[in-house]
Structure 1
Amino acid sequence: MLHPLGCVLVWTCLLSFIVALRDQPQVIGSRQPIVAAPGDDVILPCHLEPQFNVEGLTVEWSLPDLKPDPADPLSRVEYVHLYRQRHEIPDMKIRSYAMRTALFTDELKDGNISLKITNVTLADQGRYRCFIPKLNSPVDQSVVQLVVAPQSHKTWTPEPDPKSLPDPDQNDETDAGGRLHLNVLIPLVFFLLVLGGGVGVYSLKRRHQNQNCLKYVPAKPLAV
């Protein structure tokens, strides 16, 4: 059982960690699938919260479920869209997305990393990951689901305002983007519990030692 002092220490450290983590920019994607019909132009919403300038950073949009090409001995990663050194890198792009994707480069300074895909096809359906490799945050990526259905209707505008995108506080904590990662919190909580337990044991030992020092010692009888 944890000593009360250990519990206070654990929760204080945990709350301090959560507050510090929420101050860091986090990649936030759409929680709901984006639905489109073949031939539509779609936007996969993704932004940083709080706003953070990513003009000088690398932004990667990829297909996390895409299996590597066995004919490629180097197992090179191909991207739906790759932004690096302040411009797009088309050489590492999946051929089927050539000339069909774009970022809102004038809004990168505000943290908007949404991806626009033109002339959607049925083959475009799937999960898309937006990732900022050098973002100093444990939440540096998010996954957006695109559903392509023949009878779907457009439900979005060409350029969404990042402020209107989902708030990170409303996201599921087990989702892939915009919330605290359990693989970060679980080891931290375990460490703090062990630390708190150690503090509790140390405190109990000190109390026991103090009690031994205060035990009553009978006085010796005075000589007559």
Structure 2
Amino acid sequence: MCTCCLDSKKPSFIVALWTFILCSEFIVRTPVQAVMVIGSSLPIFAAPGDDVILPCHLKPMFDVQGLTVEWSKPDLKPDPSDRLSRVEYVHLYRDRKEVPDMKMASYFRRTELFMDAMKHGNISLKILNVSEEDNGRYRCFIPKLRSRVKAAVVELVVDPDFAKTSTTEMPLHFQTPDPQDTTPANAGRSRVSVVAVVITFMSVLVVVAFSACFSRCLHQKLNKLSEGKTTQSQV
């Protein structure tokens, strides 16, 4: 770039350049939400004695065999009078195996994950021989997942009047995000839209700045050329 451009447009050009650099750094550092934990938007119904599957999976497919997977009942809270009490898990998968020591006693030997399907992002929970005491909300959670949507909630309804089946399986539905656990699914798309607008604006700003510099340089060269011709004609 010519010196006259830098001298004449130095303040505005520097501002534009620094703005572009800062925005580029923001774009690089801003994570775009990709993998999401998806549960069921509809309750799962079963009769006492049924084996049920609480659907939960990752979209797009993502291998979770090396991650921790927690299934819990979020409505159960520790006893405030007992400082050593803790919320136990319905099912806990850690270090590529189940951790039974931290399970609720009522779910001992009654829950399992589909181990072979976890490499495809399937973290659905199977509960054997359900009873009315199993009614409630269940939360599947992957604490170390690199996503802002790390959890989903599935509701189980055990109804004695429900037709008894050997295994109750419901199709996987998109889970309505829990305000305490998740971020709306369109958050990533909104962020991408904002980034696209910023990139377009900065591109236009840079083009305008360079055009102004080039125009000023060209104008100065034409003036000098014109002055030179005038001097020659006078001589």
Aligned with 2:210 (options 201, 206, 209): 206
Shift of 1:34: 0.9
Shift of 1:178: 11
Unaligned runs of 5+ in 1: 1-5
The DSSP-based 3-state class of the residue aligned with 1:60 is strand
Q: Which amino acid aligns with 1:212?
A: R
Shift of 1:125: 2.5
* 1:32 corresponds to: 42
- 148-157 or 119-128: which moved more? 148-157
CA distance in 1, matches of 2:182, 2:60: 11
Equivalent pairs counted in the alignment come to: 200
CA distance in 2, matches of 1:185, 1:209: 37
- 195-204 or 36-45: which moved more? 195-204
TM-score (norm 1): 0.65
TM-score (norm 2): 0.62
Q: Which amino acid aligns with 2:218?
A: L
- 124-133 or 105-114: which moved more? 105-114
Q: Which amino acid aligns with 2:234?
A: A
> Where do 1:1-224 residues align within 5 Å?
21=34, 26-49=36-59, 51-73=61-83, 76-153=86-163, 157=167, 165-166=171-172, 171=174, 175=177, 181-187=185-191, 189-215=193-219, 217=223, 219-220=226-227, 221=230, 222-223=233-234
The DSSP-based 3-state class of the residue aligned with 2:234 is coil
Unaligned runs of 5+ in 2: 1-19
Q: Which amino acid aligns with 1:87?
A: K
* 2:11 corresponds to: none
Retained in 1: the 8 A contact 2:51–2:126? yes
